[in-house]
Amino acid sequence: MSGNAAASQGDQKEKKRKESILDLSKYLEKNIRVKFAGGRECAGTLKGYDPLLNLVLDNTTEFLRDPDDPYKLMEDTRLLGLVVCRGTTVVLICPVDGMESIANPFVAQDG
């Protein structure tokens, strides 16, 4: 194989690797909520992203967790402003509009 053919194959692999599986362009300049590995959650305006799902959020608010129960969110929030979220820690991305919290049907309810 010649040097140019090997370089051409390398370019094709590079192009395939850079293609993202998600199209977040429809959420640009809209409010989204992001959940991270480890349980943190935040919401903000999506300003930018890349194929690795690194996100840039503006007017970001972090939802604080209960210190006694790390899976339960409290009403308290913390304003973060402009943040860059590392894509390897992103677990879930959803729009704030059209989202509502429901009770977990798999957990026994009190009553």
pLDDT at 48: 95
Question: Is residue 103 in some structural domain?
Answer: no
Question: Is residue 105 in some structural domain?
Answer: no
Q: What's the domain count of the chain?
A: 1
Q: What is the CATH number of the domain that holds 54?
A: 2.30.30.100
Question: Is residue 64 in some structural domain?
Answer: yes
3-state secondary structure of 23: coil
Question: Is residue 108 in some structural domain?
Answer: no
3-state secondary structure of 52: coil
Question: Is residue 8 in some structural domain?
Answer: no
pLDDT at 5: 55
| pLDDT averaged per 10 residues, the chain (length 111) | 54 56 87 91 94 94 85 85 94 84 74 55
Question: Is residue 1 in some structural domain?
Answer: no
10 Å Cβ neighbour count for 49?
Answer: 22
Question: Is residue 44 in some structural domain?
Answer: yes
Closest CA to 90 of 64, 56, 58: 56
pLDDT at 67: 81
The reported pTM is 0.69
